[in-house]
Chains A and B, each alone.
Chain A
Amino acid sequence: QVQLVESGGGLVKPGGSLRLSCEASGFSLSDYYMTWIRQAPGKGLEWVSYITGNGDTIYYADSVKGRFTISRDNAKNSLYLQMNSLRAEDTAVYYCARDLRNKGLDCWGQGTLVTVSS
């Protein structure tokens, strides 16, 4: 059964850091591009970042460039998002998703909530 499970969310103060993890099961992470998407409370979907199967190509949304870092450990079948210099506007549910090379996101995790507040 193909499954993605995010973890690592929580409450953090502005300027703080958090590392999200996404553990994959039922498939080999190295065979797929992987993506992070977020959704602020009551808002639509916002793409955050994606990484190719071997990690040689990475893209970020302008809103997180320079503050967030995506990475993967294919041996652990896990995807990560290191988030630094967090702002209130980063408050959102963060989803990881399996990416069919820009044709669609066919498997999503349940999401993990990140709240940035003093």
Chain B
Amino acid sequence: QSVLTQPPSVSAAPGQKVTIPCSGSSSNIGNNYVSWYQQLPGTAPKLLIYDNNKRPSGIPDRFSGSKSGTSATLGITGLQTGDEADYYCGTWDSSLSAVLFGGGTKLTVL
């Protein structure tokens, strides 16, 4: 079981909005940067959000990140069938001296 908690799955209709939460503690999310990754089937993960809420070049503004206390959230608006993927949150844990990933959330666009 991951130290960072994500729901196993979420779903929404095309064009709608979805949020994916990631819950942690003061030793990880509470005092470190959060990043989010998208993994399409059979491919390597891709960075969507870094430094809590920044998007790398080429990532559309349909993807957003936020952090409050010991939780973080990935938001995706204007859902497309191509957004169907696994999404992971990640952060550093100062107590464990380790990088942590959430267990992953499978997004289904109905």
A residues whose Cβ falls under 8 Å from a Cβ of B: 35, 37, 44-47, 50, 59, 61-62, 95, 100, 102-111
Residue B99 interfacial (CB < 8 Å):
yes
Contact A45 B45 (CB under 8 A): yes
Q: Inside 8 A of A50's CB, which chain B residues have their CB?
A: 99
Cα(A35)–Cα(B92), bound, Å? 12
Q: Inside 8 A of A107's CB, which chain B residues have their CB?
A: 47
Complex interface: stretch among B14-22, B30-38, B75-83? B30-38
Contact A108 B33 (CB under 8 A): no
The secondary structure that dominates the B interface is: strand
Which residue in chain B gives the minimum CB-CB distance to A109? B44
- Tell me which of B45, B98, B101 contacts A59 (CB under 8 A): B98
Contact A102 B37 (CB under 8 A): no
10 contacts between A and B (CB under 8 A): A35-B99, A44-B103, A45-B45, A47-B98, A47-B99, A47-B100, A100-B50, A103-B51, A104-B35, A104-B51
Q: Inside 8 A of B99's CB, which chain A residues have their CB?
A: 35, 37, 47, 50, 102
B40 shortest CB reach to chain A, Å = 12
The secondary structure that dominates the A interface is: strand
Count of CB-CB pairs between chains A and B under 8 Å: 66
Q: Inside 8 A of A37's CB, which chain B residues have their CB?
A: 45, 99, 101
- Tell me which of B2, B32, B45 contacts A108 (CB under 8 A): B45
- Tell me which of A62, A104, A108, A110 contacts B49 (CB under 8 A): A104
Cα(A103)–Cα(B102), bound, Å? 15
A101 shortest CB reach to chain B, Å = 9
Contact B104 A103 (CB under 8 A): no
Cα(A50)–Cα(B101), bound, Å? 14
Given A44-B2, A44-B104, A61 and B98 touching (CB < 8 A)? yes
Among A44, A100, A109, max chain B CB count under 10 A is at A44
Q: Inside 8 A of B50's CB, which chain A residues have their CB?
A: 100, 103-104, 106
Contact A46 B101 (CB under 8 A): yes
Which residue in chain A gives the minimum CB-CB distance to B51? A103
